Amino acid sequence: MTPEGKFKKAFLAKVKKECKPVAILQYKQDSTTVKGFPDSQVILEGACVFIEFKKSKRAKFQPLQKEWIQKLNDNCHFAYVCCPENADEILEEIKKLV
């Protein structure tokens, strides 16, 4: 498993334990996937959170990733880029939605 994959798995386990989401969806990139769309979705009672995971704050973005994060936030969704350096902050933001 990649460092990003390990981080993502551990972070989503924390979310599951601390926020009790209705569901956590993870997208695998293939020909049917919308390019640049965040790779995970956390469905809470009354809110939906989209998360793009990165292995570090210096990791590069794929084309359209920043645009999707902005578009989701502009349309009243909660979308975040989560990396080890900001994971605690993102978890606290998600907890506020529960």
CATH architecture of 3-96: 3-Layer(aba) Sandwich (3.40)
Cα–Cα distance for residue pair 17/6, rounded to 1 Å: 17
> Given a cut of 90, is residue 10 above it in pLDDT?
yes
- Does 28 have pLDDT greater than 90? no
Task: Please indicate whether residue 32 or residue 80 has the higher confidence score (pLDDT).
Answer: 80
Domains of the chain, residue spans? 3-96
Strand partners, 43: 23, 48
User: The tokens of 93 are what?
Assistant: 């933001």
The average pLDDT across 71-92 equals 96
Give the pLDDT score at 82. Answer: 97
Q: Tens digit of pLDDT for each residue in 43-79? A: 999 999 999 999 999 999 988 999 999 999 999 999 9
Residue 76 is predicted with a pLDDT of 92
